[in-house]
A and B are shown apart, each in its own frame.
Chain A
Amino acid sequence: MTEGLKVIDARNSFCPGPLMELIKEIRQEQVGAVMEVWSSDAGSAKDIPEWIRRAGHELLASVAEDGIFKIRVKKLR
């Protein structure tokens, strides 16, 4: 695991769900922080990158491993 990487384990979260968990974490982290959100919902692989783009952060990676979607993001602003 990358050093300083914060994992947001939002597997099996129906409400508030993975994207809301990411928004919460990103708001409370410093600019430059890197975090990875884990989701068991296939929709996250589309929704989360779209929000990252709209919010002006950087999408570093988006992979699926054993049905878990792992999306890595860097806070830019």
Chain B
Amino acid sequence: MPNIVILGGGVGGTIVANQVARQMRNELKNGDLSITVITESAQHVYQPMFLYMAFDQVVPADAKKPERELLDRRINLVVGAAERIDAAGNAVWMADGTRIAYDYLVIATGSRPDPEQVPGLTDGGYHFYTEEAALRLRQALHDFQGGRIVVTVGVPHKCPVAPLEFVLMVDDWAKARGIREKTEVVYTYPIGRVHSIATVAEWVEPILDGRGIETHIFFNPETVDPQAQTITSLEGETLRYDLLVAVPPHTGQAVIGRSGLGDSGGWLATDRASLRLQGSDNVFVLGDATNLPISKAGSTAHFEADVVASNLVNLLRGGLGSVRYDGKVFCFIETGLKKATFITFDYANPPTPVEATEMIHLYKLAYNRLYWLTPAGLL
């Protein structure tokens, strides 16, 4: 009986598990196939809510559901930390010493914000990339009475539109609280324009300008001095702040390094079309964990999961597993507290933002509530 093991019960891993289970219902029922999801936490977390949590629009409970409830009941769920992947031996070793063997492995372990990479950042800055961090920032914003808010961006990071969304939202938020006149909003970006995507940068530059948001390009945070309240870039520029909101640089998960599989950042060398781990026939990688030059986003993980699930089903039925990923990504972009736009692109077609509207914003808020249908494999 073939065993599929999926390491990581985030958006990507959960979709793969449910889609294979749905398409191979009979095999699962008859005991001709087994699917196991291994994940660290019993709760599935919808991370985009952290942005709204920082503005006190939602609370942690809105972002979580038990993973067991989201998985098809025939899928085995193992809640625990994986210690090591033994790719040569086709098995995952758990921290408690258990060995879980596989015929096919899907690695969907995501990424991890790592503020420690920038000396002083943990003490001097805030962010919204984990629940705890978002709650700390929520308190800092709640206590904020005016001053200089500086937003910086570490490389690499997941959700490349989130820093821009934060800056546009914090501008609206300061206006709504009546403290915008006493507040300076400063947005920095690592490369030579205000967003990685040229068309998004061209679209948003006049918006930032019109709202009186100061911008600094070629700004890669190198050190923070929490006493002096300054942040210095590796390009040699120093900015003073009263409130520093710094998207931390990210790394892959420690289990990848412990398994000797990733590069020095913990990212997995992945074929951009087949989504197989390079050099392997039976290991697939998706979502934030890959080294692919595309956005680390839930939508990326979702489109990749569709490809991986189709290939697994095809392989189990005697096919060659040759469905290819075309690089598709879709992202909403909040342009404040009331309007949003969206972009979609793939390896061949660049994105073009459309005019921001209230409808798109309302759709995004609705999606935040409907999200649970995505890991269930329904939306």
Contacts and interface: CB of A to CB of B under 8 A. Distances in A.
Contacts, number: 73
Given A12-B348, A16-B196, A17-B196, A23 B220 contact: yes
B113 interface: no
Contacts of A24: 155-156, 265
The B interface, classified by DSSP as helix, strand, loop or mixed, is: loop
A54 B235 contact: yes
Contacts of B197: 14-15, 17
A20 B191 contact: yes
B264 interface: yes
A20 to B, nearest CB: 6
Interface residues of A, number: 25
Interface extent on B, as a size class?
A: 20 to 34
Given A13-B294, A15-B295, A54 B218 contact: yes
Contacts of A50: 192, 218
Contacts of B51: none
A7 to B, nearest CB: 12
Interface string A1-39: 000000011101111111111011001110000000000
Contact of A20 (B190, B235, B327): B190
A12 B235 CA distance: 27
Interface string B154-170: 01100010000000000
Contacts of B351: 14-15
A9 B292 CA distance: 9
A8 B265 CA distance: 14
A16 B295 contact: yes
B265 A28 contact: yes
B191 A51 contact: yes
Nearest to B154: A27
Contacts of A54: 218, 235-236
Contacts of B220: 23, 55
Of B155, B190, B198, B293, which is in contact with the most chain A CB atoms at under 10 Å from its CB?
Answer: B293
B156 A29 contact: no
A43 B294 CA distance: 18
B332 to A, nearest CB: 14
Contacts of A56: 234
A51 B351 CA distance: 24
B263 interface: yes
Interface of B: 117, 155-156, 160, 190-192, 196-198, 218, 220, 234-236, 249, 263-265, 293-295, 327, 329, 345, 347-348, 350-351
Interface of A: 8-10, 12-21, 23-24, 27-29, 43, 47, 50-51, 54-56
Given A8-B293, A10-B293, A15-B295, 5 more contacts: A12-B347, A15-B196, A15-B294, A16-B155, A27-B155
